[in-house]
């Protein structure tokens, strides 16, 4: 933690806005803050697949400031290490400026900025009074941001959701910036858009904010990223500085490899390759309790399209927990590798291992059919209908057009949802998602 003298010196040299953005390399592809899932090992893997900036999982400021066990569980000596984990933004949820500052000061020497979560829509955030449930308390939000802006040695940033009214959203964004936020990330969904009600992010409102905020604002967009092609499309259509991905990244880290569009090994990598690479990272950085805890969740997401076709491996994985030795996890990894080797030994694999891009959709992008042995976005069914088809139906109802029949069988759930941590539920005060 810095002394008052240290903070004074840091404040005088602390970079703001555009200068900070340039110093960290003008990143354009960002790993979103995801509860228990954007931890150290996943950030390292994501950078290998093209991510140029990463956020930590949302951390509970009061718990981080007061509980040594919580800090041990969520943070390690390697988090924020200059050689493996930068640039890095650490995200906190909070409703008390004092606890937020104390928590942020514990990591200010291990990150490039500290972000305030103003977007978590989950019930636990409502009970804990943080995230998107501060959207009506502008004075408190301004106080939280300004406390870090004036007293922390590194810059403060913020991630928000939108209101139904564009003008109110614009006023809110301006307030956040005026309070001292140096980057603004806009998740183009309402607070109510979660779970089965997630739906499409509103790019039109994101663009409205970009067009009406000061031109030098460092502006990140979040929402509707399924495939690598969606990232440059988002940047072009919205005029944002960078694009943040949550579940798109969780199910396919290759979503960030936009420099290699057309190379399926980089943009839709084989699940066996990604699983092995991720597992070796976890083992190499085993001082990270958070990475070990998140491992099972990541295994299931990487293997999501694969496991329905290999239920024996799914059963094997389901029995594991963070307490099991790496040797037992190795058995699952090796089983996946063998299964994919068997697939590629088939004489007709060249005709099967093909990615098909379907017709452009009314929302601007196009769905793809990807072989199940490759990483790909997840389309979660609701009442038996997958989200891609629900979106198509919404546009068809609006425009009275036929629904394309060539959509893939699967669905994107907003990643700002995964609050699976038992320890958080136990404490009841912990972070939901961003």
CATH code, domain carrying 136: 3.20.20.70
Judge whether 432 lies within some domain: no
Mean pLDDT across the chain, nearest whole number?
A: 88
Through-space distance between the first and last CA atoms of the chain, rounded to whole angstroms? 26
Judge whether 67 lies within some domain: yes
pLDDT at 362: 85
pLDDT for residue 51 is more than 70 = yes
Judge whether 411 lies within some domain: no
Compute the average pLDDT of residues 210-223.
Answer: 97
Compute the average pLDDT of residues 215-237.
Answer: 97
pLDDT at 413: 35
Tell me which of 222-236, 281-295, 346-360, 391-405 is least confident.
Answer: 391-405
Q: Which one, of 61, 387, 76, 89, lies nearest residue 244 by Cα?
A: 89
Judge whether 298 lies within some domain: no
CA-CA distances (angstroms) from residue 106 to 76, 93, 152, 184, 344? 12, 15, 10, 23, 49
pLDDT category, 182, cuts 50, 70, 90? very high
Q: What is the pLDDT of residues 369-425, one digit of tens each?
A: 999 999 999 986 555 455 555 555 554 455 443 333 333 333 333 333 333 333 334
Judge whether 403 lies within some domain: no
Judge whether 74 lies within some domain: yes
Q: What is the pLDDT of residues 29-44, one digit of tens each?
A: 999 999 999 999 999 9
Q: Which two tokens stand for residue 102?
A: 């104390």
pTM for the whole structure: 0.88
Q: Among residues of the chain, what percentage have pLDDT more than 70? A: 83
Helix/strand/coil for 407: coil
- What's the domain count of the chain? 1
pLDDT at 132: 85
pLDDT for residue 168 is more than 90 = yes
Taken in order 383, 376, 274, 423, the sign of the CA dihedral is negative
Strand partners, 118: 160
pLDDT for residue 78 is more than 90 = yes
202: domain range? 17-262
Cα 73-79-84 angle, rounded to 5 deg: 145
CA-CA distances (angstroms) from residue 113 to 39, 156, 281? 16, 6, 25
Q: What is the pLDDT of residues 284-313, one digit of tens each?
A: 999 999 999 999 999 999 999 999 999 999
Active site residues: 120
Q: Which two tokens stand for residue 139?
A: 């004075």
Judge whether 386 lies within some domain: no
Judge whether 356 lies within some domain: no
Higher pLDDT, 428 or 146: 146
pLDDT for residue 192 is more than 80 = no
């Amino acid at each position: 933690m810095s002394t008052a003298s240290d903070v004074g010196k840091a404040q005088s040299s602390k970079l703001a806005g555009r200068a900070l953005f340039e110093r960290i390399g003008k990143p354009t592809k960002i790993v979103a803050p995801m509860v228990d899932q954007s931890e150290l090992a996943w950030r390292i893997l994501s950078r290998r697949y093209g991510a140029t900036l990463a956020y930590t999982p949302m951390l509970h400021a009061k718990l981080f400031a007061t509980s040594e066990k919580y800090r041990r569980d969520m943070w390690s000596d390697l988090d924020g290490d200059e050689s493996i984990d930068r640039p890095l933004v650490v995200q906190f949820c909070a409703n008390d400026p004092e606890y937020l500052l104390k928590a942020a000061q514990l990591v200010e020497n291990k990150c490039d900025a500290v972000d305030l979560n103003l977007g978590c829509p989950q019930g636990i955030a409502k009970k804990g009074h943080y995230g998107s449930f501060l959207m009506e308390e502008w004075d408190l939000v301004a106080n939280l941001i300004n406390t870090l802006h004036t007293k922390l040695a590194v810059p403060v940033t913020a991630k928000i959701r939108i209101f139904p009214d564009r003008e109110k959203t614009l006023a809110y964004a301006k307030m956040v910036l005026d309070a001292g936020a140096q980057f603004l990330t806009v998740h183009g969904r309402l607070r109510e858009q979660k779970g089965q009600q997630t739906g499409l992010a509103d790019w039109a409102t994101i663009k409205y904010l970009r067009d009406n905020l000061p031109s030098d604002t460092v502006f990140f967009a979040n929402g509707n990223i399924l495939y690598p092609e969606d990232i440059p499309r988002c940047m072009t259509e919205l005029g944002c500085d960078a694009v943040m991905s949550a579940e798109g990244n969780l199910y396919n880290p290759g979503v960030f490899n936009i420099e290699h569009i057309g190379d399926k090994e980089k943009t839709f990598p084989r699940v066996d390759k990604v699983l092995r690479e991720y597992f070796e990272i976890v083992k190499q950085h085993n001082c990270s309790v958070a990475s070990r805890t998140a491992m099972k969740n990541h295994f299931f997401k990487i293997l999501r399209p694969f496991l329905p076709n290999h239920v024996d491996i799914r059963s094997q994985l389901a029995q594991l927990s963070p307490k099991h030795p790496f040797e037992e996890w190795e058995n699952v990894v090796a089983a996946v590798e063998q299964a994919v080797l068997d697939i590629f030994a088939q004489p007709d694999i060249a005709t099967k291992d093909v990615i098909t891009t379907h017709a452009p959709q009314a929302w601007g992008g196009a769905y793809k059919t990807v072989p199940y042995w490759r990483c790909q976005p997840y389309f979660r069914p609701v009442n038996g209908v997958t989200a891609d088809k629900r979106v198509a139906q919404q546009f068809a109802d609006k425009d009275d057009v036929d629904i394309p029949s060539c959509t893939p069988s699967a669905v994107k759930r907003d990643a700002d949802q995964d609050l699976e941590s038992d320890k958080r539920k136990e404490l009841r005060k912990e972070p939901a998602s961003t």
